[in-house]
Amino acid sequence: MKLLEKVRVLDLTNVLSGPFATMHLALLGAEVIKIENPNGGDLARKLGSVNPLNKQLMGTSFLAQNANKKSLTLNLKLEQGKDIFRKLLETADVVVENFRPGVMDKLGFSYEKICKINAKIIYCAISGFGQTGPDAFKPAYDQIIQGLSGVMAVNGDERLNPLRAGFPVCDTVGGLNAAFAIMAALYYREHSGDGQFIDIAMLDSIMPLMGWVAANLLIGKQQPVLLGNDNFTAAPSGTFVTQDGYINIAANQQKQWEDLTDALGLPELKSDPRFQERDTRKANRKLLTPLLEAKLKENSTIYWVELLNGKGIPSGDIVSLETALNSGQANHRGVIEEIKEEGIGAIKIFNLTAKFSKTPAKITTAPPRLSAHTAEILKNLDYNEADIAAFKEKGVI
Using the 8-state DSSP alphabet, how is residue 200 labeled? Answer: E
pLDDT tier for residue 301 given thresholds of 50, 70 and 90: very high
pLDDT tier for residue 209 given thresholds of 50, 70 and 90: very high
Residue 103 has pLDDT above 90, yes or no: yes
- Count of other CB atoms within 10 angstroms of residue 228: 14
Q: What is the pLDDT of residue 326?
A: 96
For strand 31-36 and strand 122-127, is the pairing parallel, antiparallel, or unpaired?
unpaired
What is the rounded distance in angstroms from the CA atom of residue 253 to the CA atom of residue 278? 8
Q: Domains in the chain, start-ordered, CATH in brackets?
A: 8-208+331-394 (3.40.50.10540), 237-318 (3.30.1540.10)
**387 catalytic, yes or no?**
no
Q: Taking residues 71-98, what's their average pLDDT?
A: 98
| pLDDT per position as a tens digit, 341-372 | 988 999 999 999 999 999 999 999 999 999 99
Residue 193 has pLDDT above 90, yes or no: yes
Residue 111 has pLDDT above 90, yes or no: yes
Are 234 and 252 contacting, i.e. CB atoms less than 8 angstroms apart?
yes
Average pLDDT, the chain: 97
Residue among 171, 259, 262, 279 flagged as catalytic = 171
- Count of other CB atoms within 10 angstroms of residue 174: 30
The percent of residues above 70 in pLDDT, for the chain, comes to 100
Residue 394 has pLDDT above 90, yes or no: yes
Residue 183 has pLDDT above 90, yes or no: yes
Query: Which secondary-structure segment (H or E) carries 124?
Result: strand 122-127
Are 21 and 182 contacting, i.e. CB atoms less than 8 angstroms apart?
yes
Upstream peptide bond of 208 is cis (omega within 30 degrees of 0): no
Q: What is the pLDDT of residue 266?
A: 98
Q: Which of 352, 351, 34, 70 is nearest to 183 (CA)?
A: 352
What is the pTM for the complete model shown?
0.94
| pLDDT per position as a tens digit, 9-53 | 999 999 999 999 999 999 999 999 999 999 999 999 999 999 999
What is the rounded distance in angstroms from the CA atom of residue 45 to the CA atom of residue 62? 5
Q: Taking residues 215-244, what's their average pLDDT?
A: 95
pLDDT tier for residue 1 given thresholds of 50, 70 and 90: confident
